[in-house]
Amino acid sequence: MTDTTSNGTMLSADGTPLKVSLARALRRQKIRALMLIAPLLIFVLVTFIVPIASMLFRSVENDIVSNTLPETVQTLAGWDHASGEAPDEAVYEAMYFDMFKAAEAKEHTKLGTRLNYENTGTSSLFRKSGRGLSKIGKTWQKPIESAAKPLKDGETWFAMMSGSGSNAVLEERRVLWQNLTGDPFKGEVGITLSDDMVAMLPKTAAAYADWAIFEALEEEKDISKRDPWEAVYTALGLDLMSQETQAAVASYSGTGAEELRAVIAALDTLPEADFKGAFIDMEDGWADPDVWRTILTYSPAYTSGYFLNAVDMKKSLDGFEARPENQQIYMTLFKRTIWMSIIITTSCILLGYPVAWLLANLPLRSANVLMILVLLPFWTSLLVRTSAWKVLLQDQGVINELLVWLGFVADANRLALMHNQTGTIIAMTHILLPFMILPLYSVMKTIPPTYLRAAKSLGATNWTAFWRVYFPQSVPGIGAGSILVFILAIGYYITPEIVGGTEGIFISNRIAYHISSSLNWGLAAALGSILLAVVLVLYWLYDRIVGIDNVKLGG
C-alpha cells in the first residue's frame, strides 16, 4: 500500500513518507534489542569500563599538590626556579599555613609520599616537619597570650571574630578543606565572621575560619568555647605587624580592641617573621631548591609525569629528560614483555598446531579423550600449575635430576631453568597453550578433508597439499589463537612472578608492585595505559597486515 507523491518520495499507507515509517519501525526494534542487553551493558559499564576509565584517569591526575598546598603553589609561581636558590620568605609563610592545616588533617604525609616518587627524601621531610609546625606556632602564641591574657580564651576569640557579614571567607575556606581532604565539610560552622574583622585582620580571619570549620565539622565541637590553634595566633601576629593594620586597630573600638592594642604594644616580644629560617632550622631539606622545584613541577592538576616515568624519563621544569642509566627499568621491561610474549606465542603455535590438527582429524572417541587432556589444565588452579612447574624446573627439580641421572649434564652444571626467562617461557607456553589450540581446532574442524584429497588427486604430495591448501585455510585460527595468547601473555603476572626471578618478570609484575607495595597508583596506571596502547597498536598492525576479518574463532 504505497503511494508516490509528486516529488517522487514513497508514501506508506497512512501517508507518512516510507523512509520515516521505516526508520520508526527500525528504531522500535533497536530499542527493544537494547533493552534486552541492558542488564549486561550496565554490568559491563559499572564493573569494567568505569574502573578502567578511572584507572586511566589516575595516570594523569595530580591535584594532590595544589589541593594540599594551594597557597604555596600560587606563591611559588613567582619564584625563579632557575636561580639555584630557595624561594623567598612569602613562599615559606604560605607553606607554613598550608602545611599546618594539612598536618592537622593528617594529609601532609600523603603529599610527602606522592612527591617522594619524584624526589626521594621528600617523604621524611614532610613527615618530620609536620611535627615541628606547632613549635613554630607556639613561639607566636606564647608572647601574644602574655601580652593580652583574654586571648588565651576561645570565647574572647569567638566574640572578637563574629559579627555581621557575608561570610564569604568562611565559604572560601570550606572549599579548600573539601579539596584537601576530599570530605564534604557540610553543615553549620556556628559563626558569621564580621566583615570589619576580615577587612582589618585578613590573615587572622582566614586562619580562624580554617580552624573554625575544622573544629566544628571535623571534630564536632562548639567553637565558641574552644581555643583556636597556634596558626591563628601566628596569623594575628603577622597581621598586627603591618602599619596599615596598626592604624586600623587604633581607630577600632569593637570587641577585643583592647587586646589587639595590647599585642601591638608588645610587638617586640613576638618573633621575627622568618618562616624560611624556621623551616630550615627544623629540617635542612627546606633549603634545597630541588624540593621546591619538585613541588613546582607537580603543581598543575594534570601531569605527564607518570607517563614520563613509565618510559624512563623524568619531568623537569624545562620539559623532560632521560633518567640516569641506573634508574631505567621500564623500557627494558616493556621490550622484554613484548619480546617474550612473541616467543611464547610462537611456541604455542608450534606446539598447538599439531595437537589441534589431531583433535580435528582423529575419530570422535579419541578426539574427545585428547580434548579432555587439552582442557585439563583449565580445571586446575593457575597457581598449582605454576607451582608444579617450579617443582619440575628448579635446580634440584625433576628435569635436572633426570638429566643428571641420565648423565646428560654434570651435577655441577645443572641447567638454570627457573628464575630466568627460560622458566617464564616454558611455564607460560604450557599455561596458554589451550588458548591457541581451541581456536585453531574450531577453525580446522570446518576445513573439510576433501580439500586435502582434492589436492592430492591433482598431483600434490602430502606436504604440498598441506602447505598450499590446508595451512592457508587454518591461518584464521592461527590469527585468533595468536591474538588471544599474545594479549594474555603481555599482561601475565602470576607465572612470571613465581618462576621468572628478576630476569623473567614482566611489566605487569612492576604494575602489581606499584599497586600493592609502593602504592604509586599513578605510575601503575600509566604503565597499564601504555600496555593497553601497545596492545591496541599491535592489534591495529595485525589488522593492517593480516586483516581482522581473517580471524576466526570457529566456523
User: Which has the closest alpha carbon to 207: 99, 76, 101?
Assistant: 101
Among 132, 154, 134, 103, residue whose Cα is nearest residue 231: 134
Candidates 149, 148, 192; CA nearest to 167 is 192
Beta carbons within 10 angstroms of residue 93's beta carbon: 23
In the complex, least distance from residue 448 CB atom to another protein, rounded to whole angstroms: 7
> Which one of the spans 103-111, 146-154, 247-255, 454-462 is the region binding another protein (CB under 8 A)?
454-462
Q: Please, which residues have CB within 8 angstroms of residue 455's CB and are 6 or more apart in sequence?
A: 464, 465, 468, 469, 470
Minimal CA–CA distance to 161: which of 230, 227, 247, 214?
A: 227
Residue among 363 and 407 whose Cβ is closer to another protein: 363
**Is 354 a residue that touches another protein (CB under 8 A)?**
no
Q: Given the complex with another protein, which of 51 and 449 has the nearer CB atom?
A: 449
Please report whether residue 446 would count as binding another protein according to CB under 8 A: no
Please say whether the beta carbons of 267 and 291 come within 8 A: no
464 binds another protein (CB under 8 A): yes
How many DSSP H helices and E strands does the chain contain? 28, 4
Q: How far is the CB of 346 from another protein (least distance, A)?
A: 23
With CB under 8 A as the contact rule, the residue among 365, 459, 517, 545 that binds another protein is: 459
Residue pair 485/397 in contact by the 8 Å Cβ criterion: no
269 near another protein, judged by CB under 8 A: no
Quick one: which segment of 51-59, 393-401, 443-451, 535-543 binds another protein (CB under 8 A)? 443-451
- Of 162-170, 376-384, 446-454, 477-485, which part binds another protein (CB under 8 A)? 446-454
- In whole angstroms, how large is the CA radius of gyration of the chain? 36
> Should residue 448 be labelled a site residue for another protein when binding is judged by CB under 8 A?
yes
Contact at 8 Å (CB) between 437 and 352?
Answer: yes
Q: Which of 335, 457, 540, 541 binds another protein (CB under 8 A)?
A: 457
d(CA 434, CA 160): 77
With binding defined as CB under 8 A, does residue 461 bind another protein? yes
Which residue stretch of 106-114, 160-168, 242-250, 448-456 sits at the interface with another protein (rule: CB under 8 A)? 448-456
Pairing of strands 313-316, 10-11: unpaired
Tell me if 467 contacts another protein by CB under 8 A: no
Cell 597508583, located at residue: 521
How many chain residues touch another protein (CB under 8 A)?
Answer: 19
Residue 48 as a binder of another protein (CB under 8 A): the answer is no
| 366 forms part of the interface with another protein (CB under 8 A) | no
> Is 451 a residue that touches another protein (CB under 8 A)?
yes
Taking CB under 8 A as the rule, does residue 24 contact another protein? no
Residues that bind another protein (CB under 8 A): 448, 450-451, 453-462, 464-465, 468-469, 472-473
